[in-house]
Amino acid sequence: MIIPITELSTDVLHSIVESFVLREGTDYGAVEISLAEKVEQVLQQLHDGEIVLVYSELYESVDIVDAQHFNQLNQRNN
Structural domain total, the chain: 1
SS3 36: helix
Range 4-13 average pLDDT: 96
Total-model pTM: 0.84
Average pLDDT over residues 14-21: 95
Q: Show the domain range for 9.
A: 5-77
CATH number for the domain including 32? Answer: 1.10.10.610
Bigger pLDDT: 29 vs 74: 74
How many residues does this entry show for the chain?
Answer: 78
- The pLDDT confidence band at residue 66, using thresholds 50, 70 and 90, is very high
Residue 61: CB partners within 8 Å, gap ≥ 6? Answer: 55
Q: Provide the pLDDT for residue 25.
A: 65
Would you tell me how many other CB atoms lie within 10 Å of the CB of residue 21? 21
